[in-house]
Amino acid sequence: MLFATLVNCLVIAVVVLVHYEVLHNLFIWIPRLPIPRRMGVVVAVFGSLIAHAVEVWVFGATYYWLISEGTHGNLVRGFNGSFMDCVYYSFVCYTSLGFGDIEPTGHLRFLSGLESLVGLVLIGWTASFIYVEMTRFWREPEG
């Protein structure tokens, strides 16, 4: 249990730091890009989506690694053991879709719940960031 808790804390720290760095760098780089200001919002959206995808893949790799260890639980029912199934399951958890076609067992249940919570927080963070970018570019006249 201690090992699973440490892994959960580490993966959450990694994805939060990835998200912070991406949003921080977008905030700095977007005004410097040689593009029309209104396109900055588009860059912010795509940059944020890439960050979310990377974070989902980090969680997916963690599921795959923990399953390959064999002592921390498994994904059952619609799961075929592949890395891509772990990434798919991660997307479902991160976005809180909850299709239910793959179910976690053992310590993976806790990581699944934490991933949903982290996804909710980071998606909300992205929404507020994009709002700030939109207001920043809409307030300044094109010129």
Residue with the two structure tokens 């699973």: 4
DSSP result, the chain: -HHHHHHHHHHHHHHHHHHHHHHHHHHHHGGGSSS-TTHHHHHHHHHHHHHHHHHHHHHHHHHHHHHHHSSS--EEES--S-HHHHHHHHHHHHTT----SEEE-TTHHHHHHHHHHHHHHHHHHHHHHHHHHHHHHHHSPP-
Paired residues of 103 in beta bridges: 76
Measured in residues, the chain has a length of 143
pLDDT of residue 102: 92
The tens digit of pLDDT for each residue in 76-103 reads: 888 988 999 999 999 999 999 988 899 9
Question: Is the pLDDT reported for residue 63 higher than 70?
Answer: yes
Whether 12 and 110 have beta carbons less than 8 Å apart is answered as no
What average pLDDT does this structure show over 66-79? 88
At residue 73 the predicted structure's pLDDT band, cuts being 50, 70 and 90, is confident
Question: Is the pLDDT reported for residue 112 higher than 60?
Answer: yes
Q: Which domains, from first to last, does the chain contain?
A: 2-30+37-139 (1.10.287.70)
The tens digit of pLDDT for each residue in 124-141 reads: 999 999 999 888 877 766
Question: Is the pLDDT reported for residue 57 higher than 70?
Answer: yes
The tens digit of pLDDT for each residue in 9-47 reads: 999 999 999 999 999 999 999 999 999 888 989 999 999
Question: Is the pLDDT reported for residue 143 higher than 60?
Answer: no
Tokens (6 digits) for 33: 């890009």
pLDDT of residue 78: 85
Question: Is the pLDDT reported for residue 113 higher than 70?
Answer: yes
pLDDT of residue 94: 97
Tokens (6 digits) for 127: 């929404």
- Give the global pTM: 0.91
- Measured distance CA(143)–CA(125) in Å, rounded: 30
